[in-house]
Structure 1
Amino acid sequence: MEVADRDAGIHLAELLAAFSLATDLGLGQPMEHVLRSWRIAERLAERMGLPEDQRQSLFYVSMLAWVGCVADSPEVAASFGDDIAFRSDSYGADLAGLEGFGFFLRRAGRGGPMWHRLRVATTILTTGGQNVMRGMQSHCTTTSTLADRLGLGPDVVTALRQFFTRWDGRGVPQGVGGPDIAPIIRLLHLADVVEVRYRTGGIDDALEVARARRGRQFAPDVVDAFIAHAPEVLSEAGTGIDVLTADPRLRRPLTEGELDTALEAFADFTDLRCASRAGHSRGVADLAGAAARSMGLPAGDVIATRRAGLLHDIGLHGVPATILDQPGPLSATDWERVRLSSYYTERVLARPAALARLGAIAATAHERMDGTGYHRGLSGAAMPMTGRLLAAACAYRAMLEPRAHRTALTDKQAVSAVRDAIRTGALDGDAAETVLAAAGNGARRRVSGPAGLTPREVEVLILISRGAQTGEVAERLGISRKTAGTHIERIYTKTGASSRSTATLFALRNGLLDPLDL
């Protein structure tokens, strides 16, 4: 039996449940919000007689529904400021009609200068909020792409595209409502909101919001079933990750190859939180794994090091995009939120046991041998070799990538900076030198053009995947804005992309975002 075909010792449901904890962070909710929402929807499904196959799909849709929204954080932050606070606040408003319009206007450009706030508000007013609606639709498309990559069925993929619909047809896509909405989405619409309202305001608040949005956001029959069974549906019993192992419908074991594919998908979506980080996690993973292999570590450690590299930034879901993309120095408070990201990484991956070791390694990516790293401040012998390799790989690759506060370093500069860190005792000498050797000290790799992309279109794709707007593309390449726009339209047509996120995922899958190519 090939290694890739062996049982990885983890089920897809367990993996998705762990990833949902990171999604909770991006929603500004306590961990297991998504899991509790699923249990509410599942209990309602049982009482409403939903067929067994749809109840199985309900789990996967529940775990993934918000992923695309969290991944498009740069776009949300550009319009509404702190993306995590925006999503958290959204649970208190009906996002359609005058109430929704007012919600968006009050938060337009929040945190920015007055001219920016006025510009965003004016755009919302003049377009009738169509830009917000288009953003919602692109979120759904991005999420359905992940479901497809994970090998989930068409029922799941189709349902995910309806996540922002409403019973009254005033959601996205516009005009889709009533019985045209998949039953599992109707259940999830209510469950997602009442979980928050029950946790923050008790059962009376949960019942109040259900009644208020009956026939508007929520399906009437779902609301009626909820009102009839609210106490048992909202019960706290059996809502954690551990309950998944007892549900035979969700026992879908992953092979080693399938686990790697899933982790790569999660890495890509994590990096989408910050445009300049696209491809960072894959790059760190490949470099750290190659270095571990070169050093002669056991095969199991080599695999674990690479997988930890894919997951090392999953805790960034708890850091607002406004902090990740801040061009100037961070305040003490903002820096503390960044430091907490590695704690979140370890916390998200604490269960099940198959992920716990990966989480322990992944959380060392920002530790330093002299104790100056985070979040534990480990030093010396407390840092395992897998962690030393990962820390060096992460530091080196990050230097080669642009950030909001600096341009990308050249390979020569990055190598020099790594060796300076060795001399000061921040990075382990053996580990860091092995990482540099595995990187070939910056040997370049030619970029090809999949899907019929021309060399110029490849250049444009890389720029927009890094967050460049049309005007910036034109300026960087010395072409007109109209020509840049034409290139972008052709890229979207050739790759089948509908947004920056889906274009970035295409570039990642085809190896076009190696920072060494920039």
Structure 2
Amino acid sequence: MTDDEARLAPLRVFDAVKALAFIGDLSMGQPTDHSPRTGWLAARLAQAAGLDAAVRDTVCETSLLRWSGCTANAAGFSDVFGDDIQSRVAMVEGRPGWAAPLEALGGVGTVLAPLAQIHCEVSGEVARMLGLASATETALRHIFETWDGNGLPEHRAGDAVPAAVFVVALAGDLEAFSRAYGIERALGLVAQLADARYPARLVAVAAREAAHWLDELQALPPAALDAALATPAMQHDTSAELIADVIDLKLPWMTGFSRTVAAAAAQGCARLIEDRAAHARVYRAGLIHGIGRAAVPNSVWNSNARLPESAWEKVRLVPYWTARAGRQAGALGEAAELASYAYERLDGSGYFRGARDAALTSEARVLAAAVAWVALRSARPWRAAMSAESAAQQLREEAANGRLCGEAVEALLAEGAIVKRPASVASQGARLSAREIEVLRAISRGASNKEAARELTLSPSTVRTHVESVFRKLECSTRAAATLKASSMGLL
């Protein structure tokens, strides 16, 4: 096995989907078993409603990936509500007045339609990249449509919307409402949405069975829940790169960050450790080390001021959530445990454990150094990217002060620290020009057309033409979906 083969060893689609469900639940401020529980309820609802086995598989997959577009529009929710996570909690739980801030901005439909479009495009693209059936992709691309036609983004109604969408929406409401308010009030809230969000016939089925289902679900062991959700299509192999790309969509200025960390860490590890299995673990850990970032509002990450202690507590829990994700995501468990050491330091000043010295393996040490190195070399809202020389100097100072491992730092900086990311297999359909790729890289990192024009010394109209061409070639209509596709092609 070559080094590249070791780093790119596949994992089961089901494990990747569970990791994406975990990220989605964090993004929505929900318990990290919300999506699996929704999937189980959706499967029972579909069966009780007389829907066939294919639809039951679709609702399982759709439930797990329903929030996979949440990182992609987190910036938009942050702009509108201030806190992208708490605003979603209020929305999911149907709290009174959750939409009040939207009235002055033109109303729910006007404000949320573009955010829904981003979400639907990205989640549908995720399903496609994972090789799931077209029925699941289609359901995800219409996940916010409603029975009465008042949904988003296309205002489809009735049978023009896949049946799986209504089943998943009702199951998700049952899970969230019953947890927040109890079963009786949950059924009352669901009844109010009959023939609006979903057809009344499904609500009638839920009214008869929901209490029994929730009791059964409460007693279900995790392994049994997994067995009920793992459809045949999710038994195939995939890779962890998609998880990294979905993580990075939360903050446009982090586009490509996780892939670059993974490549840098694997290269440093190869210079320090001969064991190829270690290279594979470090690479995968680098890809997923930012899972827990989804639990922290964008306003915290974008702040250029000193963070209050309350915000720092959320940041310190990022690696904790990454470790938790691994415990729920099968084959990713070992890599996630290693990934959760990405912010530890030899002197015990890191987080979340405050581990030190011998508690940090060589793999953990090189991963921590790689995260620090790539962060220093990357632009942030509050500072420009450091030069290679300045970043290397700071990394060596951290090692001299006992925070980072000197051997890991030197292994990372060897050969000029040129990070060679593994090449991806490009889509056969898209052939972007060099200028289109430059424009795409600029807008993928959050630049407006005018900002990209200044950066590339082009006119705004020329940038707009290139953006339209990129969207046409990549068959998408949002920057987030274009970024996701381009990342999978190795262009970003």
Report the CA distance shift for 1:283/1:379 in structure 2 as closer, same or farther (over 3 A).
Answer: same
Contact 2:245-2:256 within 8 A present in 1 as well:
yes
Pairing of 1:3-14 with structure 2 (within 5 A): 11-14=12-15
Instruction: Name 1:124's counterpart in structure 2.
Output: 106
State which of 406, 410, 417 in structure 2 corresponds to 1:441: 417
Separation in 2 of the partners of 1:254 and 1:218?
31
The change in CA–CA distance for 1:39 and 1:76 in structure 2 (over 3 A counts) is same
Q: Does 1:232 align with 2:226?
A: no
Task: Return closer, same or farther for 1:123/1:452 CA change in 2, 3 Å cut-off.
Answer: farther
SS in 2 for 1:366: coil
Counterpart check, 1:455 vs 2:434: yes
Q: Is the 8 A contact 1:36 1:240 kept in 2?
A: no
Q: Deviations over 1:477-496 (max 9, x none)?
A: 34443333333223222332
Of 363, 366, 372, which aligns to 1:386?
Answer: 363
Output the CA distance in 2 between the equivalents of 1:395 and 1:248.
38
CA deviations over 1:135-155 (Å, ceiling 9, x no partner): 202211111111111111111
Counterpart residue type for residue 224 of structure 2: V
**CA 1:274–1:49 in structure 2 vs 1: closer, same or farther (change >3 Å)?**
same
Where does 1:298-377 land on structure 2 (aligned, <5 Å)? 298-352=275-329, 354-377=331-354
Question: Matched residue of 2:207: which SS?
Answer: helix
**Residue identity in the other structure for 2:394:** A
Cα distance in 2 for partners of 1:490, 1:249 equals 38
Letter in 2 for 1:33: H
Q: Does 1:408 align with 2:409?
A: no
Give how far 1:452 is off: 4.3
Structure 1 range deviating more: 426-435 or 37-46: 37-46
Match of 2:241 in 1: 264
Cα pair distance change 1:443/1:342, threshold 3 Å: closer
Question: Distance in 1 between the 2:180 and 2:473 partners?
Answer: 47
Does 2:470 correspond to 1:494? no
How far apart, in 2, do the equivalents of 1:339 and 1:507 lie? 31
* Ranges of 4+ aligned residues in structure 1 off by more than 6 Å: 1-5, 7-10
- Say if 2:161 is the partner of 1:174: no
Instruction: Provide the C-alpha distance between the structure 2 equivalents of 1:342 and 1:137, rounded to a whole number of angstroms.
Output: 30
SS of corresponding position for 2:259: helix
Q: Distance in 1 between matches of 2:305 and 2:276?
A: 42
Deviates more, 1:482-491 or 1:282-291: 482-491
Quick one: structure 1 residues 17 and 204, their matched pair in 2 at CA, closer, same or farther if it must change by over 3 Å? same
Alpha carbons of 1:159 and 1:406: their partners in 2 closer, same or farther (altered >3 Å)? same
> How many residues in Structure 1 have an aligned counterpart in Structure 2?
484
1:313 to partner: Cα distance? 0.3
Matches within 5 A, 1:115-194: 123-124=105-106, 129-194=109-174
Question: Per the alignment, do residues 382 and 280 of structure 1 end up closer, same or farther by CA in structure 2, a change over 3 Å counting?
Answer: same
**SS of match in other structure, 2:304:** coil
2:41 is equivalent to residue 62 of structure 1: no
Native 8 Å contact 1:165 1:172 kept in 2: yes
1:190 and 1:73 mapped to 2: Cα distance? 24
Alpha-carbon distance between aligned partners in 1 of 2:399 and 2:268, rounded to the nearest angstrom: 16
Show the counterpart of 1:107. Answer: 101
CA distance in 2, matches of 1:355, 1:485: 40
Q: Does the 8 Å contact 1:45/1:187 carry over to 2?
A: yes
1:274, distance to aligned residue in structure 2 (A): 0.6
Q: Which runs of 5+ in 1 are unaligned?
A: 109-120, 514-518
Structure 1 CA distance, aligned partners of 2:234 and 2:134? 20
Q: Secondary structure at the match of 1:378?
A: coil
Distance 2:127 2:229 in 1: 21
8 A Cα contact 2:149 2:155, kept in partner: yes
Q: Partner of 1:293 in structure 2?
A: 270
Q: Supply the distance in 2 between the matched residues of 1:424 and 1:70 (Cα, whole angstroms).
A: 36
- What is the CA deviation profile of residues 32-91 of structure 1, one whole-angstrom value per residue up to 9, with x for unaligned ones? 011111121112122122211221222111110111123321122112211101110102
What's the secondary structure of 2:353's corresponding residue?
coil
1:484 corresponding residue in structure 2: 463
The alignment yields a C-alpha RMSD, in angstroms, of 2.8
Question: Partners in 2 of 1:324 and 1:281 — Cα distance?
Answer: 16
How many angstroms apart in 1 are the aligned matches of 2:230 and 2:245? 28
Q: Check if 1:503 corresponds to 2:482.
A: yes
For 1:20 and 1:253, locate their aligned partners in 2 and report how far apart those are by CA, in whole Å: 13
